[in-house]
Amino acid sequence: MILLTFNIINSKSDFVKNHRIEEQEIVKITEQNTSAILRILENHNILATFFVEISLVSKLTNLIKKISRSGHEISFYNDNSTLADIETAKKSTEEYLGKTIRGIRQKDIFHSVAELKNLEFNYISNIENANILFPFQRLKRSTEISQMNGLSIIPESISPYSQIPYNDFVFQMLPLTLYKNMVTETMRNEDFVLIYLDSRQFTDFDRFKFKIPFYRKYNSGKKMEDKLEEFVQWINNNENATSRMKDFVF
């Protein structure tokens, strides 16, 4: 099973010299990037899970509604939010969607399982290996879903033969042929392969003058769209099963 997920997060607000974009425009870029992802998924009838960064939830109400209406799952992405902020976002989103927010993904700042259980989440999908650069570090650990305090803990996937994690940067950097081979091998050995990409990877960094490392520009923007399009087409052509996170876990 392929669990295709996307983190809806803004690009960092650092720019080249004498250039600046206001926060509202950065949010608009995030909306455009996410809309490009949605078009690709719709073209190939694939459903995914979108993890929306907590601080963006109140700014992306219409986009969140659009994602949900398209049949995709809405979950939350905690980068640096308080429990109170998470609770407020969860209640408001559930109210206007009429659906329960079941999942949360965390990076850097981790709230405890007990605290997230009290907020009535059902699963946690944390980011553990986001800063791995080339050459890729090889990892060895369990990739099985575990239960803790009534919550499902879903680990990042690792290729069994290369031990390379399926983080956003790996998808961006690896030749797609090699990446497909990784996915195929993982599905032969594991129950699932969890893939996540960031909405900011679909940004035209040169056009908007964002200041980022050169390796993060590689295959970004339109090239990233084309790569995702080819990947999901491959998923369908090979009749690989896909699932939203909540459907797979429950």
Domain segments of the chain as ranges? 2-249
Q: Please give the average per-residue pLDDT across 110-115, as a whole number.
A: 90
Between the ranges 4-13, 160-169, 229-238, where is the mean pLDDT highest?
229-238
Check pLDDT > 50 for residue 103: yes
d(CA 210, CA 128): 25
Confidence at residue 209, expressed as pLDDT on a 0 to 100 scale: 75
Grade residue 208 by pLDDT with cuts at 50, 70 and 90: confident
Q: Please give the average per-residue pLDDT across 224-232, as a whole number.
A: 97
81-99 residue pLDDT tens:
899 999 999 999 999 999 9
d(CA 200, CA 197): 9
Q: Please give the average per-residue pLDDT across 6-18, as a whole number.
A: 75
Mean pLDDT of the chain: 88
Q: What is the topology classification, in CATH, of domain 2-249?
A: TIM Barrel (3.20.20)
d(CA 25, CA 6): 21
160-182 residue pLDDT tens:
877 888 889 899 999 999 999 99
Check pLDDT > 70 for residue 29: yes
Nearest by Cα to 5 from 101, 105, 94: 105
Between residues 145 and 103, the one the model is more confident about: 103
Check pLDDT > 50 for residue 135: no
Grade residue 25 by pLDDT with cuts at 50, 70 and 90: confident
Grade residue 134 by pLDDT with cuts at 50, 70 and 90: very low
Grade residue 21 by pLDDT with cuts at 50, 70 and 90: confident
Quote the percentage of the chain above a pLDDT of 90: 61
- Looking from the CA of 57 toward its CB, the CA atoms found within 13 Å total 27
Check pLDDT > 80 for residue 143: no
Between the ranges 11-15, 79-83, 130-134, where is the mean pLDDT highest?
79-83
d(CA 69, CA 63): 10
Instruction: For 134, list phi and psi in degrees, rounded to 5.
Output: -75, 135
